[in-house]
Amino acid sequence: MKKIICFIVFTFTSILSFTQNYRIVGIVEDSLTAEPIEYAIINIENQNISCISDSNGIFSIKIPDSLSIFTISTKYPGYKKYTYKYRSYNRFYDTLCIKMQASGLRLDKPIIEVKW
């Protein structure tokens, strides 16, 4: 009886694992300084899939199993838009390092003053 239950559980978990999403985890960095770029927008073009990098430049995005070839684009003010045609070979977990180039226009951080 235990063998039958184990077989059934293994069969269902195997079937469910094939229908799940896979994940791309990576970091967004400045191409010259290698400093992380916080809060950059990472988008899968022509899909409704996107995420934002955290304060350390790290991001994690879920990709449906149905997508194996797609274009990743990354945007951040003061940097050129980064696009990369991606082909997934690993259907469970992939890593990516995005190196963004500064554009000619560099935006300074705003200074907010409160006057009473």
Residue 104: its pLDDT value, please?
Answer: 73
| Across 85-107, average pLDDT | 80
- Asked if residue 3 is part of any domain, the answer here is no
CATH number at residue 86: 2.60.40.1120
Phi, psi torsion values for 11, nearest 5 degrees: -65, -45
State the Cα–Cα distance between residues 76 and 86, nearest whole angstrom.
Answer: 20
Range of the domain at 64: 21-100
- Asked if residue 15 is part of any domain, the answer here is no
3-class secondary structure, 28:
strand
Residue 12: its pLDDT value, please?
Answer: 46
Whose tokens are 């994690």? That residue is 60
- Asked if residue 64 is part of any domain, the answer here is yes
- β partners of residue 69: 87
Per-residue pLDDT at 1 exceeds 60 = no
Q: Is the pTM of this model over 0.75?
A: no
Residue 61: its pLDDT value, please?
Answer: 92
- Asked if residue 13 is part of any domain, the answer here is no
| Across 4-28, average pLDDT | 62
- Asked if residue 115 is part of any domain, the answer here is no
- Asked if residue 2 is part of any domain, the answer here is no
pLDDT by residue (tens digit) across 8-18? 444 444 444 55
Report which of 36, 88, 98 is spatially closest to residue 62, judged by C-alpha positions.
Answer: 88
Per-residue pLDDT at 7 exceeds 70 = no
Look at the chain and report how many structural domains it folds into: 1
CB environment 87-115: b (16+ within 10 A), e (fewer): eeeeeeebebebebeeeeeeeeeeeeeee
